[in-house]
């Protein structure tokens, strides 16, 4: 694993709608391995490799959940709005970086346990109870932090035993994997491969719809993390996936039912290359996958290659090193052999008539 690259990808900020910094890092790392690079007006980064007639798209969202400032009070404390799904328990007592006119370190404060009322002790904090303290007088904060300033959580990426742990492994792990796939893949003659780093996934799969509409893929592979609930207190049937048992192929989630033939192709390819693969079923939640299928009316064969991750949407998201490596290996084979899948495909596109 190129752990240094992963660390840089995790560290670079990119809340939904403000992906400029992460996009420029990904572009500089990945562009040399594609034939052409473009960014659409939405902010999706599209790297094309190969010039065949059949179109295969892989989509990894590069935005991360984050905060946006809404108000600075007379003491200089900052209030904020959340972008993406947050459990308030994961925000209390965290460090953040406020990306104002200059970068300011901050903390998400709250009352210490000593002064909580009995009522307050019983419940988790609400987002509205929380605020950001940057340790500066109100006049200075108001000058440096205009309303609408992006705020990212501050937690570096480290190795922990066999795992890596950080904030925003959702979805920077897949961003890293897709860059590595671009480096390694040999695209078959009859395929055009589009590696797309999408924006605004965490606020409702917004960016991918635009890129899917432009590319109109025959097959679409989303790349994202999924829940590994292999922790104490969870019964066996609720684990969803487990760490260290390979990437997962999405059968369905709350937003999509994957194409059975594409799932079969992914399973066959994993088998062929001796890569262990789990089957993922989530009954809620969603990823970029449906945009390439029904959200834009394209009807591509779709599924998602998911990296099992514990403590999703917290600052201590954790994933297994071998699952990350296997995602790169399997993803590379899936694109390198995509012609075999699309030859058998019975989908006729209007443009092929
Ligand atoms: Zn995600």
Distance 172 CA to ligand 1 centre (A): 9
Nearest Cα to 160, choosing from 61, 63, 276, 243?
Answer: 243
Distance 59 CA to ligand 1 centre (A): 11
Bridge partners of 281? 252
- 87: its two tokens: 């459990």
Nearest Cα to 31, choosing from 183, 218, 255?
Answer: 183
Q: Residue 318 has what pLDDT?
A: 98
Question: What confidence category does residue 348 fall into, taking pLDDT thresholds of 50, 70 and 90?
Answer: very low
Tell me the per-residue pLDDT of 1-44, one tens digit each, with 9 for 90 and over: 999 999 999 999 999 999 999 999 999 999 999 999 999 999 99
Q: In what order do the strands lie in the sheet with 163-166?
A: 158-160, 163-166, 317-320
Residue 81 labelled as part of a binding site: no
Q: Residue 113 has what pLDDT?
A: 82
Mean pLDDT of the chain: 94
Q: Residue 353 has what pLDDT?
A: 38
Question: What confidence category does residue 344 fall into, taking pLDDT thresholds of 50, 70 and 90?
Answer: low
Residue 212 has pLDDT above 90, yes or no: yes
Instruction: Please give the average per-residue pLDDT across 223-238, as a whole number.
Output: 96
In this structure, CATH architecture of domain 3-64+167-352: 3-Layer(aba) Sandwich (3.40)
Higher pLDDT, 346 or 141: 141
Question: CATH 3.40.630.10 region(s) of the chain?
Answer: 3-64+167-352
Distance 286 CA to ligand 1 centre (A): 8
Residue 226 has pLDDT above 80, yes or no: yes
Q: Residue 125 has what pLDDT?
A: 81
Distance CA 183, CA 177 (A): 10
Question: CATH 2.40.30.40 region(s) of the chain?
Answer: 66-153
| Gap between the terminal Cα atoms of the chain | 44
Q: What is the set of active-site residues? A: 201
Homologous superfamily (CATH) of 66-153 is Peptidase M42, domain 2 (2.40.30.40)
Q: Residue 254 has what pLDDT?
A: 94
Tell me the per-residue pLDDT of 80-123, one tens digit each, with 9 for 90 and over: 999 999 988 889 899 999 999 999 999 998 888 888 888 888 88
Residue 338 has pLDDT above 60, yes or no: yes
Residue 224 labelled as part of a binding site: yes
């Amino acid at each position: 694993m190129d752990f240094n690259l992963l660390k840089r990808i995790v560290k670079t900020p990119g809340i939904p709608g403000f992906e400029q910094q992460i996009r420029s890092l990904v572009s500089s790392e990945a562009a040399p391995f594609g034939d052409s690079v473009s960014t659409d007006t939405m902010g999706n980064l599209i790297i094309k490799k190969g010039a065949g007639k059949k179109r295969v798209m892989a989509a990894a969202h590069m935005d991360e959940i984050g905060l946006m400032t809404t108000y600075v009070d007379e003491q200089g404390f900052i209030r904020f709005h959340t972008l993406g799904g947050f459990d308030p328990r994961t925000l209390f007592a965290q460090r953040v970086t406020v990306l104002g006119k200059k970068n300011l370190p901050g903390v998400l404060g709250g009352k210490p346990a000593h002064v909580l009322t009995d009522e307050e002790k019983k419940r988790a904090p609400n987002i509205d109870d929380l605020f950001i303290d940057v340790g500066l007088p109100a006049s200075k904060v108001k000058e440096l932090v205009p309303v609408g300033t992006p705020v990212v959580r501050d937690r570096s990426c480290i190795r922990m035993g066999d795992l890596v742990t950080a904030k925003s492994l959702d979805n920077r792990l897949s961003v890293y994997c897709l860059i590595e796939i671009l480096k390694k893949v040999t695209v078959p003659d009859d395929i055009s491969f589009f590696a797309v780093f999408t924006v605004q996934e965490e606020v409702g799969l917004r960016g991918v719809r635009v890129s899917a509409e432009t590319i109109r893929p025959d097959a679409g592979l989303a790349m994202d993390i999924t829940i590994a609930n292999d922790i104490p207190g969870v019964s066996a049937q609720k684990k969803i996936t487990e760490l260290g048992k390979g990437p997962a192929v999405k059968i369905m989630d709350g937003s999509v039912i994957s194409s059975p033939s594409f799932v079969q192709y992914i399973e066959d390819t994993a088998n062929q290359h001796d890569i262990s693969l789990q089957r993922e079923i989530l009954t809620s939640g969603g990823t970029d996958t449906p945009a390439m299928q029904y959200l834009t009316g394209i009807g591509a064969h779709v599924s998602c290659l998911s990296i099992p991750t514990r403590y999703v949407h917290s600052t201590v998201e954790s994933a297994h090193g071998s699952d990350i490596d296997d995602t790169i290996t399997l993803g590379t084979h899936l694109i390198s052999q995509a012609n075999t899948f699309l030859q058998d495909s019975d989908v006729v596109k209007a443009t092929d008539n």
